[in-house]
Structure 1
Amino acid sequence: NLESFKTSGLQQLSDPIVNQCSNGSFHHPVSTEPVPVLDFPQSSSGLKRRKRDWIIPPINIPENDKGPFPKLGVKIRTSNDKEQRVHYSISGPGADEPPKGLFFMDKYSGQIFVTQPLDREKQARYTLLAHASASGGTLVEAPMEIKNNVIDMNDNKPVFTEDTYEGSVPEATQLLPPLCFIGYDILIVTATDADDPNTGNGEIAYSILNQDPKEPNGNMFAINPNSGQIRLNSPGLDKEQYPQYTLTVQAADQAGKGFASTCRVIIKVTDSNDNAPQFVEPKYTASVPENEVDAEVVRMQVTDEDEPHTPAWHAKFRIREGDPGGFFNVTTGPSGQEGIITTAKALDYEKRNQYTLLVTVENDVPFAIKLPTSTATVVVNVEDVNEAPIFIPSELGVKAAEDAKVGERLATYTATDPDTQMKQSIEYRMAPDSTGWLSINKTIGVITVKSPMDRESTDVVDGKYKALVLAVD
């Protein structure tokens, strides 16, 4: 209730300039400038506690005032000064408590003075108690609270929490439309301002002053002016060409129009799998003998522009077409840039003498962006090898009488030659043994008795005699 105290508005003071005593204290009014006059609230009788809804408006004092000092701030008055001589005084932080001496009151006039420039960043408010007492020291009014607000002036520039910030961004980062502020979040820069954050003096705006290098364009990055969040603003990062960017970032108060400071931001471009490995040759021709397993067929060289010896560079091969039977394996060589094809099963020239394989190459990690896959064609010629004739069955059982006559025909035992393309003839022979009982026709494989047989011979076991027949192409 503003009626709980009375102000006389801006009243003209007629007191002369203050003098300073030898002990450093001030007395007598120093100014005739109009200042607010605060009356002590009226009491019905005696000294009473003021009601809680009595509101004394705060006194606003600009910080860093250049004076001259002491400077009059406000005047206190009681209606009792018409009846008796009243002495005025103040107490509290800034007066008789630390920091002492910032405020003093002329005890005769009730004028409150500021003795020196105030710094809001040190203390933003001083709450004083004003006292009015009679000559004998008896209080004639209850103490009145006076709040002195130090008004902020823009006397501090923003300060970054770090001189240099570091961040990273994958080179193949994809942006979402629209580009500005929707890209990949890289890092946040932060600055503080000691001025009042509720005024423009402490309102910080961020901006990017410079980008080095400026390729592929000078707006690769953007910054949120309010939060300091730096994001990727444009596609085209390429670690192989521009592995690092240096930004000069500014923080300025007054929403970007006041005091400013700068910091450095280093953004490293990390490698992404944005380069597909490429075969050095699009077509390879190789030959491999039939019947060999784990035989090396061919080595295929590739190149990759990604960072060497990383998963985005290391090659991985696959046979996509031409080997439904699984006759071949493909592995990556020790260099990481070489595919080695070997035989997984024995090849048969007579069944198939040539294979055409389609081989693709990728990396250990997926491509970061859509890229065409490099392919190579490998023509494998199977070399024919002279294979031994094959008896079917591999063991032939024949019954013969012990007294069979010499020259008697016992059986015909022939073999076939797997090398059908060679058109070779087969010659049959009996392997030498101790009995010499049998002979074979070298052309048609007819087995006959060569000499009398003896069932009681030690070469006969359980009534069976085994002889070895050879087929030679």
Structure 2
Amino acid sequence: MLRKQKRNIFAIILMKISLMGRRQLLQLVLLHTACLMGSSQLHYSVPEESQHGTFVGRIAQDLGLEVSELVPRMFRLVSKDHKDYLQVNVQNGILFVNSRIDREELCARNPVCIIHLEVIVDKPLRIFHAEVEIRDINDNAPIFPVNDHKLFILESRLPGSYFPLEEASDADIGSNSLLTYKLHSNDYFQLHEEKHNDRSKSLALVLQNALDREKHSEHHLLLIATDGGQPALSGTVQLDIIVLDANDNVPFFNQSVYEVPLLENVTKGTLVFTLTAYDLDEGTNKELLYSFSSMMPSQLRHIFSIDAKTGEIKVKGEIDFEDINLFELQVEASDQSSYPLVGHCKVLIEVLDVNDNTPEVTVSSLSVPVPENSPPGTVVALLSISDRDSGVNGQVICLIWPSGHPFKLTSTFKNYYSLVLAEPLDREQVAEYSLLVTAQDQGDPPLSASSSLVVPISDVNDNAPTFGQPSYTVFVKENNPPGAHIFTVSASDPDVAENALVSYWLDEKLWPLSSYISVHSESGKLYALQPLDYEELKLLEFQVRAKDAGLPSLCGNVTVQVFVVDENDNAPAVSGPSQDIVTLVKVPVAAGHMVGKIHALDADSGYNAWLRYELHDAASGPWQVGLYSGEVSTTRALEEAEGGNSQSLLVLVKDHGKPVMSTTATFSVSLVASAQAAQSDARLSGMGGNAKPLADNANLYLIIAICSVSSLFLLVILVYVVLRCQSQAKEAMMYGPGTATLVCASEVGSWSYSNRHSHILAGVSGEAGAKSDLMVFSPNIPVLAVNGDAGNVKDFVPLTPGEKKHKCQV
């Protein structure tokens, strides 16, 4: 066993000599000498990592000790490093492995790893030396200093450049630590090994092809180290080759031109667009700054701004589509290397229209006032509608408010309209139109604007003056003062200005009225130029015409009936040559015998002409007078003995007017006896006196005529009243210049007995004839159309007023 150990030691020494240089040769010689001198020392060997109980050697036997005496002599094993890697079984004297032995932990990289032991026994005390060599096994794979090794290589390095690498280490020794290297295949790098001596070599990567960081910014290579053990173990290291950037790339944008929509009227600070440029370089070569090109117009810099770092373009000023609807921004992106490279792009900002402009209504021409006789189609105004917006925001519709006007809008050209007359005008109905022209665009929400338009209508003389009534009936008391205002006629003309300036005049073609009536040309007031006398003139009927001042002028007329109202201005008058009436009465006569009659007339009419008779002295003799007949009769019988007497009676004749007017008549009565009657009658007849039979006959005829005429006249009046009430409910009557009074058709005028002359001025030439009859007067007497003489009444025909509208011919 010892020989074998010595041979092993010698072989190891020889191997080490082959590995070592000349410097270690002397150390080996000295070591061999020591081995020869200590040949009595025991030497064992055991592989590392042997299990517990692995046999090492029979140490007791090799020391010449009996197994039986190991315990009595207190055999014990002492290690210099006080570790119990090895132990001796005292029962059999065998040295065995007690615990795990790691050669690399125990001896590191020393080529010979020996554990020195001291064996001690007592009785007698002896010390033996032994050594156990720990043999290396290939239990350690090659290890690189790091698992990942980063290499930073500038992309601008030329092919053939070297980049040193750290070698791997192997804790084993000998062939177990002999390493070979292999690099993963790639197109850019190769592994270069360079041996400096038997124990040292250097590794390096050699660049084969030019690097381009923009194509491959990193290269990941695997370097494998394999030892010479059996079996061989290997270790790897990841080579991360980071290609460092060189500023060889110009910054660029994804697009050369960006089109960006932007609403107008956006607030300041609004983000328009964010530009992003790219640079394939790295570091400062990749850090970009954005700016507007120096070639861009300066005014755009007041509207937009760009953030140098983020590339955000924001609104800086006012954006108005109507001013500029397209902006062209030239943007640059430059890196921050010492010699910066610059990329360019263009940003086209299309401003989108917002409905922010209200339409504008402009009246370019206005032809006012518009004559009311303008035909439909007449152009009144020209309007222009504008809206600064575009598209639907600039499409405008035009309307007129309110509805119901006689105008319409006609489009003549784009956004040009004509205000055209669509219907006939009538200034008298509407003198002025206030129109509101509204223009509304089609935006969302729509905007509108309005313009007021006043269209006055000018007057045309198309209306003749008109009176309020077709005829007027006026009652005027007689004996009026000269120039008295008796009535006012008024005509209205709906026209204006001179077309409504009305003047009045009397139509005197058929009857000269200038001596009776005049009319004020401006006010229409009617004046009586002279006092009217009912007894001479009872009715004035004439036409008043109204004429405007237009060209040509138009006329209207109205019929005026002026009835003269009777006043009690005439005293009764006794008929005959004198007021003394003499009569002869034959006696005897019976009581109540009429001896005579007083005939009296009153020029007035009605109550003013209604006479009554009374004796001045009622107690004067046997006489009485009829209150209304005027008949003088006896109150008692007269005897023949009273013949030859004469009496004078004073008779008062009074009317019923206010104040009462009266006259007196003397009635002389001569009483004669029967013998004297014939003589008296003959005498009276020869004197032309009034005979009783003749008087009685005349009175009888007169009464019959009066009753017949009055009955006929009353019947005609009643028929006319009924017809008039059916056609006209009531008629306003004016009495003098005062307020109108309403006279009912059922009223019947008073009776008057008259033989005075009555004149009716009814629009005919000639003078009124005289008629002695019983006349009936009614306040609503119809107008009489008289042909020829006024005394010959043919028919009752009401006069009609002239046409309401016609050209005047004066």
Shorter chain as denominator, the TM-score bin is 0.5 to 0.7
Question: Equivalents in 1 of 2:191, 2:242: separation in Å?
Answer: 16
For residues 354 and 133 of structure 1, do their structure 2 counterparts lie closer, same or farther at Cα, with a shift above 3 Å needed?
closer
User: What TM-score do you get using the length of structure 2 for normalisation?
Assistant: 0.35
| Counterparts of residues 269-418 of structure 1 (less than 5 Å) | 269=351, 274=357, 277=360, 279-281=362-364, 285-287=368-370, 289=372, 295=377, 298-302=380-384, 304=386, 306=388, 310-319=391-400, 323=402, 326-327=404-405, 331=409, 333-342=411-420, 347-361=425-439, 363-365=441-443, 375=451, 377-381=453-457, 386=462
Partner residue of 1:70?
Answer: 161
Amino acid at match of 1:302: S
Amino acid at match of 2:211: L
Amino acid at match of 1:141: S
| Counterparts of residues 240-259 of structure 1 (less than 5 Å) | 240=323, 242=324, 244-254=326-336, 258-259=340-341
Per-residue CA deviation, residues 150-200 of structure 1 (Å, 9 max, x unaligned), is 334443221111222233445xx2243xx3xx2262x4433222234xx44
Per-residue CA deviation, residues 118-169 of structure 1 (Å, 9 max, x unaligned), is 3222223323222223569963433333333333444322111122223344
The question of whether the paired residues in 2 share the 8 Å contact of 1:277 and 1:362 is answered with: no
Q: Does 1:193 align with 2:271?
A: no
Q: Does 1:262 align with 2:344?
A: yes
Which residue of the other structure, out of 113, 116, 122, is the alignment partner of 2:205? 113
For residues 166 and 385 of structure 1, do their structure 2 counterparts lie closer, same or farther at Cα, with a shift above 3 Å needed?
farther
Q: Secondary structure at the match of 1:285?
A: coil
Q: Does 1:207 align with 2:207?
A: no
Could you tell me how far 1:76 is from its partner in structure 2? 1.5
Per-residue CA deviation, residues 77-119 of structure 1 (Å, 9 max, x unaligned), is 3235862473432332xxx2xx435232317525131314432
Amino acid at match of 2:362: F
For residues 68 and 356 of structure 1, do their structure 2 counterparts lie closer, same or farther at Cα, with a shift above 3 Å needed?
closer
Question: Equivalents in 1 of 2:426, 2:556: separation in Å?
Answer: 20
- State which structure, 1 or 2, has the greater radius of gyration over its C-alpha atoms: 2
CA RMSD between the two structures:
4.9
Which residue of the other structure, out of 282, 293, 306, is the alignment partner of 1:223? 306
The question of whether the paired residues in 1 share the 8 Å contact of 2:213 and 2:243 is answered with: yes
Partner residue of 1:79?
Answer: 170
Amino acid at match of 1:222: S
Amino acid at match of 2:277: A
Question: Equivalents in 1 of 2:320, 2:180: separation in Å?
Answer: 74
The question of whether the paired residues in 1 share the 8 Å contact of 2:139 and 2:172 is answered with: no
Question: Equivalents in 2 of 1:357, 1:184: separation in Å?
Answer: 47
Q: Secondary structure at the match of 1:118?
A: coil
The question of whether the paired residues in 2 share the 8 Å contact of 1:202 and 1:253 is answered with: yes
For residues 312 and 126 of structure 1, do their structure 2 counterparts lie closer, same or farther at Cα, with a shift above 3 Å needed?
closer
The question of whether the paired residues in 2 share the 8 Å contact of 1:239 and 1:269 is answered with: no
| Counterparts of residues 36-185 of structure 1 (less than 5 Å) | 46=139, 56-67=147-158, 69-79=160-170, 83-84=174-175, 86-92=178-184, 96=185, 99-106=186-193, 108=195, 109-116=201-208, 117-134=210-227, 139-170=232-263, 173-176=264-267, 179=268, 182-183=269-270, 185=272
Question: Equivalents in 1 of 2:393, 2:410: separation in Å?
Answer: 14
Could you tell me how far 1:250 is from its partner in structure 2? 0.9
Could you tell me how far 1:71 is from its partner in structure 2? 1.1
User: What TM-score do you get using the length of structure 1 for normalisation?
Assistant: 0.56
Amino acid at match of 2:368: T
Question: Equivalents in 1 of 2:338, 2:350: separation in Å?
Answer: 27
Q: Secondary structure at the match of 2:167?
A: strand
For residues 67 and 366 of structure 1, do their structure 2 counterparts lie closer, same or farther at Cα, with a shift above 3 Å needed?
closer
For residues 244 and 140 of structure 1, do their structure 2 counterparts lie closer, same or farther at Cα, with a shift above 3 Å needed?
same
The question of whether the paired residues in 1 share the 8 Å contact of 2:290 and 2:334 is answered with: yes
Partner residue of 2:542?
Answer: none
Instruction: Report how many aligned residue pairs link the two structures.
Output: 340
Question: Equivalents in 2 of 1:145, 1:113: separation in Å?
Answer: 13
Question: Equivalents in 1 of 2:393, 2:247: separation in Å?
Answer: 53
For residues 46 and 332 of structure 1, do their structure 2 counterparts lie closer, same or farther at Cα, with a shift above 3 Å needed?
farther
Question: Equivalents in 2 of 1:250, 1:332: separation in Å?
Answer: 55
Per-residue CA deviation, residues 392-419 of structure 1 (Å, 9 max, x unaligned), is xxxxxxxxxxxxxxxxxxxxxxxxx998
Q: Secondary structure at the match of 1:76?
A: coil
Could you tell me how far 1:291 is from its partner in structure 2? 11
Amino acid at match of 1:333: S
For residues 141 and 236 of structure 1, do their structure 2 counterparts lie closer, same or farther at Cα, with a shift above 3 Å needed?
closer
The question of whether the paired residues in 2 share the 8 Å contact of 1:319 and 1:359 is answered with: yes
For residues 191 and 334 of structure 1, do their structure 2 counterparts lie closer, same or farther at Cα, with a shift above 3 Å needed?
farther
Aligned identity (percent) is 19
Could you tell me how far 1:249 is from its partner in structure 2? 0.3
Could you tell me how far 1:235 is from its partner in structure 2? 0.9
Structure 2: gaps of 5 or more residues: 1-108, 110-135, 196-200, 465-490, 500-553, 559-726, 729-802
The question of whether the paired residues in 2 share the 8 Å contact of 1:290 and 1:385 is answered with: no
Amino acid at match of 1:71: Y
Q: Secondary structure at the match of 2:368?
A: strand
Amino acid at match of 2:383: Q
Q: Secondary structure at the match of 1:174?
A: coil
Question: Equivalents in 2 of 1:418, 1:366: separation in Å?
Answer: 55
Higher RCO, 1 vs 2 (CA within 8 Å, ≥6 residues apart): 1
Could you tell me how far 1:205 is from its partner in structure 2? 3.2
Question: Equivalents in 1 of 2:211, 2:147: separation in Å?
Answer: 22
Q: Does 1:235 align with 2:318?
A: yes
For residues 69 and 149 of structure 1, do their structure 2 counterparts lie closer, same or farther at Cα, with a shift above 3 Å needed?
same
Structure 1: gaps of 5 or more residues: 1-41, 389-416, 428-444, 447-469
Question: Equivalents in 1 of 2:160, 2:245: separation in Å?
Answer: 19
Partner residue of 2:701?
Answer: none
